[in-house]
Amino acid sequence: MAMLKTIKTSINDTKEALDGIKQSMNGVKEELDTLKGNLAKVQEQAKDKPAKLKSSLSYLKLGIADAKATVSETKQGVAEVKDAGKDREPAGSLIAGAEFIREKSGFKLKRAGEVIGEITYAEGPEADMWMANHTYVKPEHRGGSVAKLLLDRLVEEARMEGKMIFPVCSYVRAQFKRHDEYRDVWHEY
């Protein structure tokens, strides 16, 4: 009988051990379910990270472009100071006889058939947005007010058509940052 009692006790101990194992397994199962949920959240967030990183890199590139534009403008200013007094066509006479030519996506400033400068834009992702993407003034006409005249003409047109301007072009972006007069048409990023 003692042996039956020992076997019975062993069986009960084994049942208790199995119940403990089942409880442990249920706990592990719950932890796995929690980990699966957390993993799904991490994967969801990881999907957004490349886009956010790409967006951050784009803004960084814009900042670098701004810095380069500032350096370029400074160099241009130094060159203009060096050129002071040389026989250059003053901005006032440059503008006399020049005319704005409206094109599909921008404006050109021409005089006697020669393009002096241009500013262009592309339609933006929103119907009321233009992305100013390019400003160019021929080297021999830089340092005057040609680029500013072109920008002012673009801004005037944007106001008339109810458009906002996203400055992709470094010159336009720099002018928008410096002059509050453009604030009403500036679509800031």
Mean pLDDT of the chain: 79
What are the residues facing 131 on neighbouring strands? 122, 166
Between 22-26, 69-73, 144-148, 176-180, the lowest mean confidence (pLDDT) is in 69-73
pLDDT in tens, 134-148: 999 999 888 888 999
Output the six-digit token pair for 26.
Answer: 């249920």
Residue 90: band (very low, low, confident or very high) from pLDDT cuts 50, 70, 90: very low
Under a CB-based contact definition with an 8 Å cutoff, are residues 138 and 115 in contact? yes
Q: What is the DSSP letter of 184?
A: G
Residues 6+ apart with CB under 8 A from 134: 106, 118, 119, 120, 169
Q: Indicate the pLDDT class of residue 84, thresholds 50, 70 and 90.
A: very low
Biggest CA–CA distance in the chain, Å, is: 126
Q: What is the pTM of this model?
A: 0.52
Residues contacting residue 126 through CB under 8 Å, at least 6 positions apart: 164
Bridge partners, 111 (sequence order): 114
- Please tell me the distance from the alpha carbon of residue 28 to that of residue 24, in angstroms, as a whole number: 6
170: its two tokens: 């470094």
